[in-house]
Structure 1
Amino acid sequence: MSDRPLMPKATAVWLIDNTALSFDQIADFCGLHSLEVKGIADGDVAAGVRGIDPISQHQLTREEIEKGEKDEDYRMKLSKPKTIVAAPKKKAPRYTPLSRRQERPNAIAWIVRNHPEVPDSQIAKLLGTTKTTIQAIRDKSHWNSSNLEPQDPVALGLCSQFDLDMAVSKASEKRAAMEAAGKIDEGARLAPAAETEKADEDERSNAAPDIDKIFANFGGGGDSDND
C-alpha cells in the first residue's frame, strides 16, 4: 500500500478548505511540495479540482487531523485499510473421482457419436479430459477403442445435464452462425446418431454373407454331381 493518499491534490484541496492544518503538514501528508500546497490555496494550482474528503475515503481519521491542528510539528499518518481484499482464486480444474475415470472414454464416445458438432475443446472442458484422448476416440485409434461402450456422461456422473445442454447448444449456435456466413456448406450437415447407427447396421448387413445363396449353390452343386 502507498504511504500517500490516492488523489493527493484533491485531498489537499479538501484539507485546505476544511482544516486548520499548516501547508507543511498538508504537503507532507499528500506528498506535495509546500509551495505547491500554497499555490492550491491561492488558486494558482489545481484550479477547478474538486476536494475529496480523506476521512470518508478511510485514508485519514478525524483524530489525526485534530492532533495536527493542535501541534504544527505533528505529521499525520495515512490510515491502514481495515479490510484486505484477497485476490480471486483461479477456478480449479474439474476433478473426476478415480472410480469414474475409467468410464470417461465411454462418455467421450457417447458425445462424439450423439453430438459430433461439439468441438474437442468443449468436450475436454466438460469431462476434464484431453484433446489427444478425444481425437483418438474420434478416429478410433484409442488403445481400448474396440471395447468402448458409449454411455451418457450425465448418467455416469461426469457432468450435469445443464452443462451438457449448454455445451451442445453453444456448439449448435456456432455452427448455425458459420452456415449463415457461408463458412460451412449447409448440405454437409452432421448426421444424427440414429442415422449413423442405421448406416453402421446396413454396412454390417452388406458385409455379411448371403446364407440362402450359399445353400442354394451348395444344393445346386449336389444335383449336378448326382447327374
Structure 2
Amino acid sequence: MEYPLMRKATAVWLLDNTTLTFRQIATFCGLHELEVSGIADGEVAGGIRGIDPIINSQLTADEIKRCEANEELDLQLYKNPAAVGEKKSRGPKYTPLSKRQDKPAAIAWLVKFHPEITDGQISRLIGTTKNTIKAIRERTHWNINSLTPTDPVILGLCKQVELQAVLDKMPKKESSELLGNSGSETDIGVMEPSQSLFSENTNQEN
C-alpha cells in the first residue's frame, strides 16, 4: 500500500484541518491509531509542522469531504509524487553526479532513524557501497563531523515507495513503543546540526 510523503506531517495537518477520525488518518498515513491519538494529544511528533496533502497533490478536497461524511470510508491517495516515473530495473542503481555527494547524509539518516535496516538494503536503496555505510555506522567516515542526517526521499536518492517497501519488511514496533517515539521524523526530514546523529557521541569523547 502506498502512503503520502512525510506521513506524520500529513497526519498533523489532517488533525488540525479536518474532522476525519483517528482511524481514517492512521490508515491513510500508515500509522498506528494510538500514534495518531498521541499526535492529537501533543505527546507524539512535537514540533512537526503539518503538510497540506492537497497542495502537494496527494489528496483532493472532495476526497476529504467524502470521508468526513462517512467515517467508515478510507481516504484514497490521489498521487504520490515520489512514485511518478518509477520503473523497476536490475543492476546497480544509477545516481546523478549532482546527488552523489548527498549519499553520506542519507546514510546517516537511515542508520539514525532506522538502524534495523541492513547495509545491503541501504546499498540497494540509494546506490552506495557497503564500505561507505560501515564507515558512517562506525564514525570513521572522513567527513563524519559535518554530516547532517537527511531523508533520502527529500534528497531525491530514492522513491518513497521504495523506502516504504524496505521498512515494511522490518519487524513492527509495539503500540506502546510508538507513543514514546516522537522524534523519528522532523518537519522537513532534516536534522539541525545541533541534533546531529554524531554530536552526542562527539561531546562524550571530548
Q: Which range, TM-score by smaller chain?
A: 0.3 to 0.5
**As a proportion of its length, which structure holds more helix?**
1
Q: Which has the higher contact order (CA 8 A, sep 6+)?
A: 2
